[in-house]
Structure 1
C-alpha cells in the first residue's frame, strides 16, 4: 500500500480480528443460518492449513487480518448456501456440462484478453466475478445483467483493492461484470493458488501445488452445474493458471474438455507476476519482500511448466489435442487467433460474435488504466540465470525470447 493510502486507513479503529477456525465457522453459520459445509474431506484440510499460514507466515497488519477473515468467511458462506441449494434442488446435479473450453497457461501470457474475447460470443458462458463472489441464489438468464449482486460485488472491489491500491488496475483489471478465473471457484475447497496471490503463505502454497486436486474438479463441475442451471448457454469457457497443476484431474472430471495452452517468454511474465503479487500483498502487510516473492513464484512457475509438459508427454489423447496459443501471435491478430481456436475444435464462429469481439477490442485499448513497469532486477532475479532456468520450456513449446 502506498503512503497516501496508508494515511487514509486508520487501523486503530479496526476490531481485533481472531483468525481461527472456531471464529470463522461460527461467523459463517451466523451469517447464513446454515450449518452443513458439505464433505469435510473436500475442504477442511486446506482451510486449516491456510489459517495456519495466515497466522504464522503472512505478516498481516490489522487491515490484512480483516481482509483475510472476510475472504475466508465469504468462501465458507458460499459453501453453506450452495450446499443447501443443491440439497433442496438435486436436479442441479443432472445439468450436463459438455465440451467446456479451458484456457490454461502461465500468468501474463494473454490468457485474460483471450478469455475476455471468448466471453463476447453469445454462445459462450463464462463465470463472472459477481456470481463467483456471491454464488447463491443461482443466477437466472432474465436478470443476469441486472442482478443486485453486481452492485454489491463492485462496491466490494472499489472499497478494497480499488481504494487501497488503485494502481492495481494497470496490472490486472477488476470488475464485477468481467470474466473471472477458476481460481476463485477453486477457493471454494480452499485448494487454490488465489490465496498466495494475495498473502505471504509459502507453506500453504506448496501444499496446494502438491495435493490431489480431484475433489477440486468434482466441486468445480458442481459449481458450473449450479451456475448454469437457470442461466445456460452453449458451452463454458474457463481459464486459470492453477489448472497447470491439475490437468490430469481436470481431464478425469471433464473427459471432453477442449484445452488452449497459452505461452509467452517466461522472462516477461515472471517479473510482471511478481509485481502483481507484491502489490496485492501490500494491501494486508507492511513487510512485503519483493526478492522473497520472486524466489517463491519463480520456483512455482518452473514447477507449473514442468507439470504442463508432463501432461503433454503423457500419451493421453486429450493431451495431443491441446491448442497452443503464443502471445506473440495473439497481439498481431486477436480475432484471427480466436478463429484458429474455433477451427481447431470444430466450433462455429458467427459474424455476430466477431462483431462483438472487435467492438470489445476497440473499447478496451491497451494501457487504458495506465502502464505497468517492472524489471527482473528489482526482484533480485538475474536475466541470464532465469533464461537458463526456463530454457526447457521455451525449447519444448518453441517460445521465442522477446529480448
Structure 2
C-alpha cells in the first residue's frame, strides 16, 4: 500500500478515542475541567465505571456479540483495571478516556472474533517474514518505520485501521474508507489535551501505527505505562510471558491483510526490546532492525514525553523520579535484547543494526543496507518513493522540543556509566 508524504516522527504511542465532547473543548478550559473533576469525581466513577463486569457488559451491548476470541485477556484486563483505580489517581478526563478506550478495545475484540467466525480464511492468512523495527525510543525508529513503509508493495498498519479494524479493510477502498475521516475526528482532541505532543509525534489517521496500539487489545501492552501511572500493573506485566500478546498481534495482522495484502509487514515499537524472545516464538521468520542512539540524548526526551502523555489524565502527576524510572526501564530493555542476541548467536543474521547518526546522515544508504542484509528486493519505485519522503520531511520540520538530563534529576556521568555495557557493545559515541 503506497503511503506518500508522511511527516517525520508521526507514530503515536497511544491513541485513545475519547468521548466526543472532548474534541470541542478549548485548551483554556482544561484547568477548570480538572478543578470541576475533583468535585464531580464521584459521579464520574459511576458514569464512567472501570468495573470489569460493567465494561464487558457495555461492549457486549454495543456490539450485540459475546465471544471475545478467547479468555487469555481476562487476567491482565482485571489487573490493569485494579491498577487504574489504585495507582493512577485519574481525574475526570482521565476516567472518561480510560473508560472509552477500554470499551473500544473490547468491542474490537468482539468484532474481530465475529469476523473470524464468519470468514474462516482470515485465520489461514500467512504472515511471512514481517520486518520489525525496535530500539531505544527517540533513536530514529519512527522515521525509519515510515520511510520503509513507502515501499508500495509492503503493508504498515495505519492508525485508522488499528483503531477500527472491523470489518477487514478492502484494497479497492483502502484510501477512501469512511473510517479514515471518523478517526481524524476522534484524534482532534489530542491537540487540546497535549498541545506539545506534535513536537514528538505528528498524528493523522493515515500514518503508520506502533505495535503497542495492537497489543493493547490483549491488555498486555507497554502502552498503558506510557500513558498512565499504573505501577502495580507494570510490575505484574514485566514478569509475564508475552506470547499471548504476540499471538493476538498476529491475529490482528491477519485481520488487516485478509482483503488487503502486501509482500510483507513493516512494524515498529521500542517495547519489542523487552520481549524479543516471545516475538521470535510467534514470528520465527521475523527480520529485526535495531536502532541505536546515545542514551544521554534518549533519556531526557523519553522523560519529557512521559510527562506530556501522563499529566493530562491524573490529579497529581508525579514528576519526581520520572527520569530514573525512564533510565531503569530502558537500561533493562537494552540488557534483555543484548543478552538474547549474545546467548543466541545463530540469531545474528536476523538482526540489522542502525545507528542514529548514520540514519540522519544518509537514510537511503541505511535502507539499502537493510534490504541487502535481509535479501529483499528494493525496487526502483520503492526507492523513488522513499527519496521523495526524505526530501519532503527534514528533521525538526514541525518544531523542536527542548529538554535536559538535569531537569529530570539525571546526572550525565552516572547515566553514561549505567549504559556503558550498551554503548561499548554497539560502538555508540556521545552526540554533541
Provide TM-score, normalisation by structure 2.
0.89
**Cα distance in 2, alignment partners of residues 285 and 134 from structure 1:** 27
Q: 1:104 to 1:374 in 2, by over 3 A?
A: same
Q: Offset at 1:319? A: 3.6
Aligned to 2:202: 173
Aligned to 2:179: 149
Determine if the alignment matches structure 1 residue 107 to structure 2 residue 137: yes
8 Å contact from structure 2 (residues 286, 350) kept in 1: no
Bigger mean CA deviation after superposition, 281-290 or 62-71:
281-290
8 Å contact from structure 1 (residues 5, 164) kept in 2: no
Q: Offset at 1:361? A: 2.1
8 Å contact from structure 2 (residues 292, 353) kept in 1: yes
Aligned to 1:67: 97
Structure 1, unpaired ranges of 5+: none
Aligned to 2:261: 232
Q: Offset at 1:117? A: 0.3
Q: Decide which of 270, 277, 280 is 1:248's aligned counterpart.
A: 277
Q: Offset at 1:4? A: 3.0
Q: 1:152 to 1:3 in 2, by over 3 A?
A: closer
**Cα distance in 2, alignment partners of residues 26 and 319 from structure 1:** 47
Q: 1:248 to 1:280 in 2, by over 3 A?
A: same
For these two proteins, the number of residue pairs brought into alignment is: 401
Q: Decide which of 276, 288, 294 is 1:259's aligned counterpart.
A: 288
Q: Offset at 1:31? A: 1.3
**Cα distance in 1, alignment partners of residues 256 and 268 from structure 2:** 16
Q: Decide which of 29, 36, 39 is 2:67's aligned counterpart.
A: 36
Q: Offset at 1:317? A: 2.2
8 Å contact from structure 1 (residues 202, 296) kept in 2: no
**Cα distance in 2, alignment partners of residues 292 and 27 from structure 1:** 37
8 Å contact from structure 2 (residues 27, 193) kept in 1: no
8 Å contact from structure 1 (residues 312, 320) kept in 2: no
8 Å contact from structure 1 (residues 24, 73) kept in 2: yes
**Cα distance in 2, alignment partners of residues 367 and 240 from structure 1:** 21
Aligned to 1:384: 413
| Stretches (4+) displaced over 6 A | none
Q: Offset at 1:363? A: 2.4
Q: Offset at 1:316? A: 5.1
8 Å contact from structure 1 (residues 125, 235) kept in 2: yes
Q: Offset at 1:8? A: 7.0
Determine if the alignment matches structure 1 residue 49 to structure 2 residue 98: no
8 Å contact from structure 1 (residues 34, 81) kept in 2: yes
**Cα distance in 2, alignment partners of residues 315 and 360 from structure 1:** 36
Q: Offset at 1:210? A: 2.3
Q: Offset at 1:78? A: 0.8
Q: 1:164 to 1:8 in 2, by over 3 A?
A: farther
**Cα distance in 2, alignment partners of residues 72 and 295 from structure 1:** 29
Q: Decide which of 277, 291, 309 is 2:338's aligned counterpart.
A: 309
8 Å contact from structure 2 (residues 27, 192) kept in 1: no
8 Å contact from structure 1 (residues 200, 281) kept in 2: yes
Bigger mean CA deviation after superposition, 316-325 or 75-84:
316-325
8 Å contact from structure 2 (residues 154, 263) kept in 1: yes
Q: Offset at 1:87? A: 1.3
Structure 2, unpaired ranges of 5+: 1-25
Q: Deviations over 1:5-61 (max 9, x none)?
A: 5247475589622211122111111111111112212x1111111111111111211
Q: Decide which of 296, 299, 321 is 1:292's aligned counterpart.
A: 321
Q: Deviations over 1:286-330 (max 9, x none)?
A: 422223322222111111011101110122522443100100100
**Cα distance in 2, alignment partners of residues 121 and 8 from structure 1:** 47
8 Å contact from structure 1 (residues 196, 202) kept in 2: yes
Q: Offset at 1:217? A: 1.4
**Cα distance in 1, alignment partners of residues 91 and 310 from structure 2:** 11
Determine if the alignment matches structure 1 residue 92 to structure 2 residue 122: yes
Output aligned runs, 1:340-359, within 5 Å.
340-359=369-388
Determine if the alignment matches structure 1 residue 164 to structure 2 residue 188: no
8 Å contact from structure 1 (residues 5, 165) kept in 2: no
**Cα distance in 1, alignment partners of residues 313 and 31 from structure 2:** 14
**Secondary structure, in 3 states, of the residue corresponding to 2:321?**
helix
Determine if the alignment matches structure 1 residue 182 to structure 2 residue 211: yes
Q: 1:278 to 1:89 in 2, by over 3 A?
A: same
**Secondary structure, in 3 states, of the residue corresponding to 1:97?**
coil
**Cα distance in 2, alignment partners of residues 5 and 337 from structure 1:** 46
**Secondary structure, in 3 states, of the residue corresponding to 1:166?**
coil
Q: 1:9 to 1:157 in 2, by over 3 A?
A: farther
